[in-house]
């Protein structure tokens, strides 16, 4: 899944693709680089970000989605708003990637249920301006068990809205109401989340916990655009553990990694893809 941020303030590439023309060009390049899905978003969810108006978000994403979908791309809309999801699906998107899992706008579940789209539900506790205040996981089993339980609650709501299990993907929400240690615990505990029975989408690309791991001698985190190698190492791990999809910025490098793994799998008889059929 290649990231297309049609925003002025996303943490990694905010402003680079903030207009329709540059966003479409970027999406087309990601397809050439090997993306299976383009994830198009018009709202930054970096820690501390403020929300755009609904009209702003619509104006950012709908023209990009309609153009890339017309090109034949599989398009996901990265939104928490029912109104934006509905417009995006009408424009040609087939996946709704909701970082709030339906908590920010419960009506988004009704939109998905009525259209037959795939729904990605991420673990989420609050909007970007206060989510890190809720990064506390002191119960039994720590962050892994808390995320598992809270995702299971979202699955109950998703089913109640009429979305069938074969259209659902779950995301542990690395970096969302999580400290660096929480993110590493979640990566290590993905098998526990997979026990819920749904494909997993993981978005670790260029996130701050990688920057902190690679901090310099003075303790300053590695800059955002210098974290790619660490992300590629994670892609290897995630693919070998059967994760359905990785959400990344540098599609070409990640595709190269997956091509190597697939080639080696031919020699060993091992697979790198999930056993559960993908939505």
Residues acting as catalytic residues: 207, 247
Which 3 state secondary structure label does DSSP give 76?
strand
* The token pair that represents 13 in the structure block: 């590439």
Angle between helices 228-240 and 251-268 (to 10 degrees): 40
Q: Which residues contact 122 (CB under 8 A, 6 or more apart)?
A: 97, 98, 99, 100, 101, 170, 171, 172, 173, 176, 201
| Burial (Cβ within 10 Å: 0-12, 13-18, ≥19) of residue 116 | exposed
Residue with tokens 């899905």: 37
Please give the structure tokens belonging to residue 224: 């955002």
Helices (H), 92-245: 107-115, 142-160, 180-188, 190-194, 208-213, 228-240
Provide the token pair at 240: 């070998």
Q: Which residue has the tokens 């809205």?
A: 161
**Closest Cα to residue 111, out of 122, 102, 124?**
102
Measured CA to CA in angstroms, residue 48 lies from 58, 66, 101, 132, 147 at distances of: 21, 30, 19, 9, 22
């Amino acid at each position: 899944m290649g990231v297309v941020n049609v925003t002025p303030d996303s943490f990694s590439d905010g402003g680079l693709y903030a207009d329709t023309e540059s966003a479409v060009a970027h999406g087309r390049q990601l397809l050439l680089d090997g993306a299976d899905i383009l994830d198009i978003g018009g709202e930054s969810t970096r820690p501390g970000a403020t929300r755009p108006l609904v009209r702003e978000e619509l104006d950012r994403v709908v023209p990009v989605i309609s153009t890339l979908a017309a090109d034949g791309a599989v398009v996901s809309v990265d939104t928490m708003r029912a109104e934006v999801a509905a417009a995006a699906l009408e424009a040609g998107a087939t996946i709704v990637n909701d970082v709030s899992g339906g908590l920010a706008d419960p009506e988004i579940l009704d939109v998905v249920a009525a259209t037959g789209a795939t729904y990605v539900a991420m673990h989420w506790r609050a909007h970007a301006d206060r989510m890190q205040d809720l990064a506390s996981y002191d119960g039994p089993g720590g962050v892994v068990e808390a995320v598992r339980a809270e995702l299971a609650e979202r699955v109950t709501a998703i089913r109640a809205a009429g979305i069938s299990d074969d259209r659902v993907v779950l995301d542990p929400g690395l970096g969302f109401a999580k400290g660096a240690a929480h993110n590493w615990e979640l990566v290590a505990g993905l098998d526990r989340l997979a026990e819920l029975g749904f494909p997993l989408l993981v978005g670790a690309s260029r996130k701050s916990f990688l920057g902190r791991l690679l901090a310099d001698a003075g303790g300053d985190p590695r800059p955002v655009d210098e974290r790619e190698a660490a992300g590629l190492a994670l892609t290897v791990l995630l693919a070998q553990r059967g994760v359905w999809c990785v959400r990344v910025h540098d599609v070409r490098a990640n595709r190269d990694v997956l091509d190597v793994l697939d080639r080696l799998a031919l020699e060993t008889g091992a697979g790198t893809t999930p056993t559960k059929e993908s939505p």
